[in-house]
Amino acid sequence: MTDQYVLSVLVDNSIGVLGRVTGLFSRRGYNIKSLNVAETENPALSRMTIVTEGDSGTIEQIEKQLLKLYDVSEVKILHDAVCREHILIRAGNSPSSRQPIIEIANLFRAKVVNVGEDGLMLELTGEPEKINSFIGLLKPFKINKLVRTGICALERD
């Protein structure tokens, strides 16, 4: 049975590490739904959050194969974790759409980060489902462009 899994992977902050990880996924036919990486409090290490899907056997393999990479020091399959995603979105096609967009933004506690001639740029952080419904509500006002970070997640204590 195919399920979605969130992996937290601690890697060396070194050249090519992203290539090694993504190369492993592509050559073994594993799916990457999203991948997020940045330095940790220790500049020598980076943490990746990878969202993938597969059956339990595939996930077992992904975990073990990742651990074989010399740049990877820890792999955790997250079960009880806080998952967040960030989005930047430009929406609106006329000055009249500005007000209803701001109303939606307020409902979601999104922030207006730029005002253009016709539209607005908004930012929002939240669980992926919240981001999805935010995008859904903005659709009628024409979405010009958007970028999502993909999930970054941290297990609870």
Partner 1 sequence: MSKMTGADIICECLIEQGVDTVFGYPGGAVLNIYDSLYKYSDKIKHVLTAHEQGASHAADGYARASGKTGVVIATSGPGATNLVTGIATAYMDSVPMVAITGNVACALLGLDSFQEVDITGITMPITKHNFIVKDVEKLADTIREAFYIASEGRKGPVLVDVPKDVTAKVADFVNKPIKPYTPIKTLHQDDCIQKAVEMIKESKRPYIYCGGGINNPRGAQVLKQLAKVADAPVSASLMAQGCYDQTDGRYIGMLGMHGTAAAAKALSECDLFIAIGTRFSDRVIGDPATFAQKAKVLHIDIDPAEINKNITAYHKVIGDSADVVEKLLKLLPQQDHAEWVKNICSDRELNVKQVGTKELDLTPQQLIETLDRLTGGDALICTEVGQAQMWAAQYYKYRFPRQLITSGGLGTMGFGLGASIGAKCACPSRTVINVAGDGSFHMNLNELVTLSKHNIPVIELVINNNVLGMVRQWQRLFYEKHFSQTTLDRPTDYVKLGEAFGIKSFALTKAADCEDVLSKAIEISKTAPVLIEARIDRDINVLPMVPAGKSVTEPILDIVIDD
Minimum Å gap between C-beta 60 and partner 1 is: 6
Amino acid at 83: C
**CA distance linking residue 49 with residue 86, whole number of Å:** 13
Position among 3, 39, 64, 107 found at the interface with partner 1 (CB under 8 A): 64
Minimum Å gap between C-beta 102 and partner 1 is: 46
Across 13-24, b (16+ Cβ under 10 Å) vs e yields beeebeebbeeb
Q: Which stretch binds partner 1 (CB under 8 A): 15-23, 78-86, 87-95, 143-151?
A: 15-23
**CA distance linking residue 29 with residue 154, whole number of Å:** 26
Q: Which is nearer to partner 1, 23 or 140 (CB)?
A: 23
Transcribe 108-121 into DSSP letters. Answer: HT-EEEEE-SS-EE
Position among 13, 31, 34, 65 found at the interface with partner 1 (CB under 8 A): 65
Q: Which is nearer to partner 1, 65 or 132 (CB)?
A: 65
**CA distance linking residue 64 with residue 43, whole number of Å:** 25
Q: Which is nearer to partner 1, 71 or 85 (CB)?
A: 71
The reply on whether position 16 binds partner 1 by CB under 8 A is yes
The reply on whether position 23 binds partner 1 by CB under 8 A is yes
Q: Which of 84, 73, 87, 88 is nearest to 51 (CA)?
A: 84
Q: By the criterion CB under 8 A, which residues form the site for partner 1?
A: 15-16, 19-20, 23-24, 27, 57, 60-61, 64-65, 67-71
